[in-house]
């Protein structure tokens, strides 16, 4: 069974570096960032978003684990905030390590997140997904997410 375990401060260091590398790569692939500055830019973005690490208010960081083995199979980061009188969540990151993909961990993690967000009074969940990630797009669509806006870009 898949469970969400609050991220430890020790794991946070590994998470922050993996997140930065992935975010930098996605932005370079999308043509948004230059390769030589992407990693530092991604690290800065994470530091700005999570200035207190796992203790950053209204941000929830979890390790996704296989309960039977206690093995970490990925991680999940979302925020739950109120804007314009409505409480909603934003998913910043979902990663399941390659060797654990296609085993239902992402779906289970999202279902557990939804339960937690209902408890916290959220009425909706939002996220962004890169156009170059059709696997994630398919996952989110299967979970009931719909496109609400689309950014487009033309390189010159």
Residue 154 located in a structural domain: no
Structural domain count, the chain? 1
Q: What is the pTM of this model?
A: 0.89
Structural domain contains residue 10: yes
Give pLDDT, residue 70.
84
Report yes or no on 155 lying in a domain: no
Percent of the chain with pLDDT over 90: 83
HSE-CB for 95 with a 13 A CA cutoff: 20
Does some domain include residue 149?
no
**How confident is residue 46, by pLDDT bands cut at 50, 70 and 90?**
very high
Residue 95 pLDDT level (bands cut at 50, 70, 90): very high
Residue 119, both tokens: 């408890």
| Domain encompassing residue 84 | 2-142
The answer to the question of residue 156 being in a domain is no
Question: What is the CATH classification number for the domain harbouring 99?
Answer: 3.40.630.30
Domain presence at residue 150 = no
pLDDT tens for residues 53-86? 999 999 999 999 998 888 999 999 999 998 888 8
Q: Residues 2-18: pLDDT tens digits?
A: 999 999 999 999 999 99
Q: At what angle do helices 35-49 and 9-29 cross, to 10 degrees?
A: 140
Question: Does residue 103 lie in a domain region?
Answer: yes
How high is the mean pLDDT of the chain?
94
Does the residue 32 lie in any domain?
A: yes
| Predicted confidence (pLDDT) per residue in 14-34, tens digit | 999 999 999 999 999 999 999
CA distance 35 to 81: 33
pLDDT at 58: 95
Residue 153 has pLDDT above 90, yes or no: no
User: CB–CB of 91/77 below 8 Å?
Assistant: yes
């Amino acid at each position: 069974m898949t469970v969400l375990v609050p991220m430890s401060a020790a794991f946070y260091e590994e998470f922050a570096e993996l997140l930065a590398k992935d975010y930098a790569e996605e932005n370079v692939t999308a043509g948004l960032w230059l390769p030589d500055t992407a990693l530092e830019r991604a690290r800065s973005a994470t530091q700005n978003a999570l200035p207190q690490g796992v203790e950053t208010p209204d941000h929830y960081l979890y390790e996704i684990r296989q309960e039977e083995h206690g093995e970490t199979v990925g991680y999940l980061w979302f925020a739950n905030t109120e804007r314009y009188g409505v409480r909603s969540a934003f998913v910043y990151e979902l990663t399941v390590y390659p060797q654990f993909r296609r085993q239902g961990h992402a779906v289970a993690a999202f279902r557990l997140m939804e339960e937690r967000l209902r408890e916290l009074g959220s009425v909706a969940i939002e996220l962004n997904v890169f156009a170059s990630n059709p696997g994630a797009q398919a996952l989110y669509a299967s979970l009931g997410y719909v496109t609400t806006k689309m950014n487009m870009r033309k390189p010159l």
